[in-house]
A and B are shown apart, each in its own frame.
Chain A
Amino acid sequence: MENLLIEGSAKTPTVNFNSEAGVIELKGRSIPENSVEFYQPLNEWIELYAKSPKLETVVEIKLEYFNTSSSKCILDLFKKLESMNNSSTQVKVNWYFEEDDEDMEEAGEDYQAIIGLPFNMIEVDEI
């Protein structure tokens, strides 16, 4: 299957979904007004990937910040990943946040509380 590559913009994150590597990455910021529209192709790609995933799938979330409209879409994305976990692939989430950025750290913990996937919280100097 084809990889999904979307260049980031002032309101949307860089998307790098790589099926051969089993790596799903979101990087930058996610503040579009209509996030449902933006996230739809991402969800579709994951549905397709779920049919023949790698043994291990790594989800790399490197977001500076996101709006609440995106937060629901990101949750939907995690739910899709959660449902393919264990059956055909082992899904791991690496959640990055900048040093001292409690808001993004908490945002990761919010998802961790809702989603049954292993989260690895990673503090970095700069995203």
Chain B
Amino acid sequence: MLRYLIPIVYICEYLLSDMSISNVYQLFKTLEKDSILLSFKGLVTAELLSSILHIMESKLTHLQEDSKLKKKVFNVLVECLQNLYHHIDVHEDDIKEDIELLDKKSAVFMIARFGGSFYVRTGNYVENKDATKLMRRLDKINSLDKEELRLYYQEILGNGGRSGKGTAGLGMIDIARKSGNKLEYEFVQVTEDIKFFCLNVKID
């Protein structure tokens, strides 16, 4: 249970230190205005990932929506969350001891639904050199049409090696294929060496 509390404690500390208490209402209104079904900021651990998927699966079941679309949304959710999870490449317990590292490895995740579309948004820190690689990959993916994406996926699946974490570099291609839209992204320079990677996936 404790690991779910850490991010909450973290947010509360932030609210108490930098925001007046009425801003909780502001935060609530913002989440409502943006039609957020679920949002989270903190460390994406294996346990947290399971709970989010569990919550989202039951939320999706109750939504009056095409089952094909719901399946695509769940699929994209899994890939996005697992990307965030694999992003923590140090041991969970080591991070909890180190507040600075905890902040660095924290991510933000939200899922929204409006106008008949779903939006999965994620954000996490990346080093400059990884950002460059990621940007190249995303641009390549965005330059391909449906059929080309399919061939690219087959190419990477068939020939591509596996990264140490078993993600095989297929995640983003799969997200693009399932979403049927271009992957919207932005890198915000945070420090000289670090960027914040924002991804917005529209599924309809």
A residues contacting B by CB (< 8 A) are: 10-11, 31, 33-36, 64-65, 67-69, 71-73, 75, 100-103, 106, 110, 113-114
Contact = CB atoms under 8 A, between A and B. Distances in A.
Nearest to B85: A33
Given A10-B54, A11-B50, A68 B168 contact: yes
B82 A72 contact: no
A68 B68 contact: no
9 contacts: A10-B53, A64-B71, A67-B79, A68-B79, A69-B166, A71-B157, A72-B168, A103-B72, A103-B178
B150 interface: yes
- Chain B interface helix/strand/loop/mixed: helix
B90 to A, nearest CB: 15
Contacts, number: 66
Q: Which size class do B's interface residues fall under?
A: 20 to 34
Contacts of B167: 68-69
Interface of B: 46, 49-50, 53-54, 68, 71-72, 74-75, 78-79, 82, 85-86, 150, 153-154, 157-158, 162, 166-168, 170-171, 173-174, 177-178
A110 B157 contact: yes
Given A65-B71, A103-B178, A72 B150 contact: no
A68 B174 contact: yes
A106 B85 CA distance: 27
A10 B52 CA distance: 12
